[in-house]
Amino acid sequence: MRTHVMSLDFDSSLLEKYDTQGPRYTSYPTAPEFAGDFTVQDYVRHVEHSNDELIPKPLSLYLHIPFCRSLCYYCGCNKIVTQNEAKAERYLEYLFHEIEMQSKLFAADRLVTQIHFGGGTPNYLNTEQFRELLSVIARHFHLSYPEKLEISIEIDPRFSSGPQIVELANLGFNRISIGVQDYEENVQTAINRIQTREQVDEVITAARSAGIKSISVDLVAGLPFQTRHSFADTLKQVVESKVDRIAIYGFAYLPKRIKAQRMIAESSLPKRDTRIAIGKDTLEYLKDAGYVHIGMDHFALPTDSLAVALKEHNLQRNFQGYATHAECDQVGLGVSSISQVNDSYSQNSSTLTEYYAQLDAGELPIKRGISLTEDDLIRAQVIQYIMCQNTVPYHSIESAYGINFLSYFKNELQALKGFEKDGLIEYGNDEFSITPAGRFFLRNIAMVFDYYLNNKPPQTEDNVVRFSRTI
């Protein structure tokens, strides 16, 4: 069995060599490929096909709460910064309507096993609003038994409290992820997000005492004024809190596209050498602290379900990142949310004006999407193996899709030779595997199989589809 603990026994120059921009592969094809010619009728057709399956998949609901109380300058999310809580009231009325419309499409045997609230700031809503939202969901969808139902939420600790977390746990929430980003004061000032260790620990302590099963912390690397020393200090504080999962996202600085980021001077960002050193330090530190490297920038304690799923080869990747659930169809609810149903992805309108107008017209607020071709499905499966299983078994793809792997992917296998030479992949009789060092370069390896990325006509600097850095 392969070890899942990262070995740092590789040449640091590889970090520089593979430091490029690329997708995070929470879907394939990736969101930039979703197109406006995908219609509500297309979506309904995919739902009908999914209902007709012999054993229909369970459902995972994603609800987007776009409101935030203050603007973080690094943020590239779809959000609305407002103190006017009446806006959230109005939004919820529309969201309830969308929940009802969506629920009517799914057959009675489609059980909901997962509900996730993302944002924005989901805890912009108060407990009463969550109570009502959950009861609307329960009224229209068929929920799994409470012990099988995962309800998770992203928490902004600046606007939460111990009592709020206990109330959420009493409503059935059993997983939280807390946005910490960085504990260093001058970094927090530069990104306009001031929060203390005490605020975070209050949330963690309350979550533990209320029996919340999994506590995760999100950090961001590459923020202004971060140094090796300052990030190591943040990491140390997070590890002291003994959270189950730690995710470290690379900051994508795109001031041309994201207005808020113009508040961050490029000169304040850590240089490439520092970013790379932070990456190496982080891997070493978390390994020594007993965390398992799940893949890319995700780590978990060995007892956490993600680490168990990795060990048992059940790990999945979806729009929320790594997941343990066997495949679900995902229903996105709310402005800009993404659905993955049958062989399709679709995304709701990203402005409230459009979202409300479509619902007022009695339509689902779908704006764009894509129906996957056979080639998309094959490549999506290969990328899923790369991101989650460390191994791409040719025979599994061949028997599922009736292809000859070696000839179908002749060019890609040729392109992988450089990765083999660098010790990041190795070939077996009927598969190629990602080495422990290669787990840090999963996005780069997956990019080799991305047809769209590799076959698009060259774009100008202004219209190029930009992604975050892979390292």
Binding site for ligand SF4 (CB under 6 A): 68, 71-72, 75, 77, 79, 119-121, 156, 179
Q: One-letter amino acid identity for 443?
A: R
The least CB distance from residue 216 to ligand SF4, in Å, is: 15
218 annotated as belonging to a binding site for a ligand: yes
118 annotated as belonging to a binding site for a ligand: no
Q: Of 98, 89, 99, which is closest to residue 67 (Cα–Cα)? A: 89
- Any residues with CB less than 8 A from the CB of 435 and at least 6 apart, and which? 423, 424, 425, 426
Q: Which two tokens stand for residue 200?
A: 């975070």
The least CB distance from residue 410 to ligand SF4, in Å, is: 43
User: DSSP letter at 276?
Assistant: H
Residues in the chain: 471
| Closer Cβ to ligand SF4, 188 or 324, answer by number | 188
| Closer Cβ to ligand SF4, 27 or 181, answer by number | 181
| Closer Cβ to ligand SF4, 144 or 192, answer by number | 192
The least CB distance from residue 68 to ligand SF4, in Å, is: 3
74 annotated as belonging to a binding site for a ligand: yes
State the distance between the two ends of the chain, measured CA to CA, in whole angstroms.
26
* DSSP result, 203-252: HHHHHHHTT-SEEEEEEEES-TT--HHHHHHHHHHHHHTT-SEEEEEEP-
252 annotated as belonging to a binding site for a ligand: yes
The least CB distance from residue 120 to ligand SF4, in Å, is: 5
* DSSP result, 141-154: SEEPPGGG-EEEEE
Q: Which two tokens stand for residue 148?
A: 């099988």
| CB crowding 56-76: b at 16 or more within 10 Å, else e | ebbbbbbbbbbbbeeebbbbe
The least CB distance from residue 70 to ligand SF4, in Å, is: 7
Pairing relation of β-strands 111-119 and 59-65?
parallel
| Closer Cβ to ligand SF4, 68 or 453, answer by number | 68
414 annotated as belonging to a binding site for a ligand: no
| Closer Cβ to ligand SF4, 177 or 358, answer by number | 177
Dihedral angle over CA of 436, 442, 444, 449, nearest 10: 120
Q: What are phi and psi of 4, to 5 degrees?
A: -100, 5
User: DSSP letter at 267?
Assistant: G
| Closer Cβ to ligand SF4, 103 or 348, answer by number | 348
| Closer Cβ to ligand SF4, 129 or 192, answer by number | 192
The least CB distance from residue 218 to ligand SF4, in Å, is: 9
The least CB distance from residue 335 to ligand SF4, in Å, is: 13
* DSSP result, 291-317: -EEEETTEEE-TTSHHHHHHHTT--EE
18 annotated as belonging to a binding site for a ligand: no
222 annotated as belonging to a binding site for a ligand: no
| Closer Cβ to ligand SF4, 5 or 263, answer by number | 263
Provide the sign of the torsion angle of the four alpha carbons 443, 444, 445, 451, taken in this order. positive
193 annotated as belonging to a binding site for a ligand: yes
Dihedral angle over CA of 81, 87, 93, 94, nearest 10: -50
Q: One-letter amino acid identity for 225?
A: F
72 annotated as belonging to a binding site for a ligand: yes
| Closer Cβ to ligand SF4, 68 or 323, answer by number | 68
The least CB distance from residue 76 to ligand SF4, in Å, is: 8
Pairing relation of β-strands 245-250 and 214-221?
parallel
The least CB distance from residue 207 to ligand SF4, in Å, is: 19
Residue 8 DSSP SS3: coil
420 annotated as belonging to a binding site for a ligand: no
369 annotated as belonging to a binding site for a ligand: no
52 annotated as belonging to a binding site for a ligand: no
Which parts are annotated binding residues for S-adenosyl-L-methionine? 62, 74-76, 119-121, 154, 181, 193, 218, 252, 338
Which parts are annotated binding residues for [4Fe-4S] cluster? 68, 72, 75
Which parts are annotated binding residues? 62, 68, 72, 74-76, 119-121, 154, 181, 193, 218, 252, 338
